[in-house]
């Protein structure tokens, strides 16, 4: 069977929200200027919207899985308010200093490959947007067709 779905993979910190470092509270979460417009564009073309985010703050003990999940639910709701359904948020809670090596922390492609298996994705037809070389590396390793490294979403004046 041919894989049928395509996805827009979004990094979170620096792409969806301004990256202040280890953001885990709603009051510290500021959406970047164009993210809803970009996500809507792909969403309306039938791309599944999938977030893939490294969250080593969990391994470091800065915040908990529960903190992360609470913020994620709020974030998903904000996208829904804009008519954009996020299909799934994958996160890597690990850090090599605490957990050893894992296959999910970008630049490893683990989260993308999990999404491929779960949602029957054609990765060559999929797109990734990241603000770090490790995002792009993960996308390329997984075989994502288009990988965009952005800077400006990171710098919207805050």
Binding site for Mg ion (CB under 5 A): 11, 13-14, 131-132
Determine the Cα–Cα distance for residues 93 and 32; give it in Å rounded to an integer: 23
In the complex, what is the shortest distance from the CB of residue 130 to Mg ion, in angstroms, rounded to a whole number? 6
> β-strands 48-54, 7-10: how paired?
parallel
What residue number has its CB nearest to Mg ion? 14
Q: Give the bridge partners for 148, in sequence order.
A: 129
Q: Is 92 helix (H, G, I), strand (E, B) or coil?
A: strand
11, 19, 131, 135: the catalytic one is: 11
In the complex, what is the shortest distance from the CB of residue 14 to Mg ion, in angstroms, rounded to a whole number? 4
Query: Between 55 and 132, whose beta carbon lies closer to Mg ion?
Result: 132
Reply yes or no on whether 28 is catalytic.
no
User: Are 122 and 98 within 8 A, CB to CB?
Assistant: no
Number of helical H runs and strand E runs in the chain: 6, 5
Reply yes or no on whether 135 is catalytic.
no
Contacts of 74 (CB under 8 A, 6+ apart): 26, 29
In the complex, what is the shortest distance from the CB of residue 148 to Mg ion, in angstroms, rounded to a whole number? 13
Query: Between 56 and 132, whose beta carbon lies closer to Mg ion?
Result: 132
Query: Between 32 and 132, whose beta carbon lies closer to Mg ion?
Result: 132
In the complex, what is the shortest distance from the CB of residue 68 to Mg ion, in angstroms, rounded to a whole number? 15
Query: Between 49 and 131, whose beta carbon lies closer to Mg ion?
Result: 131
User: Are 147 and 130 within 8 A, CB to CB?
Assistant: yes
13, 19, 131, 135: the catalytic one is: 13
Catalytic positions: 11, 13
């Amino acid at each position: 069977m041919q894989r049928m779905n395509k996805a827009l993979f979004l990094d979170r910190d620096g792409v969806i929200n301004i990256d202040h470092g280890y953001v885990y509270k709603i009051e510290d979460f500021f959406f970047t200027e164009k993210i809803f417009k970009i996500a809507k564009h792909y969403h309306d073309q039938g791309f599944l919207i999938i977030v893939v985010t490294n969250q080593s703050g969990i391994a470091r003990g800065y915040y908990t899985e529960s903190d992360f999940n609470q913020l994620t639910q709020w974030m998903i709701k904000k996208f829904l308010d804009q008519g954009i359904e996020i299909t799934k948020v994958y996160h890597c809670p690990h850090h090599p200093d605490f957990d050893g090596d894992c296959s999910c922390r970008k630049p490893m492609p683990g989260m993308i490959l999990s999404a491929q298996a779960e949602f029957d994705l054609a990765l060559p037809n999929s797109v990734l947007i990241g603000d770090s070389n490790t995002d792009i590396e993960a996308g390329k390793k997984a075989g994502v067709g288009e990988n965009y490294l952005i800077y400006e979403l990171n710098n919207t004046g805050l």
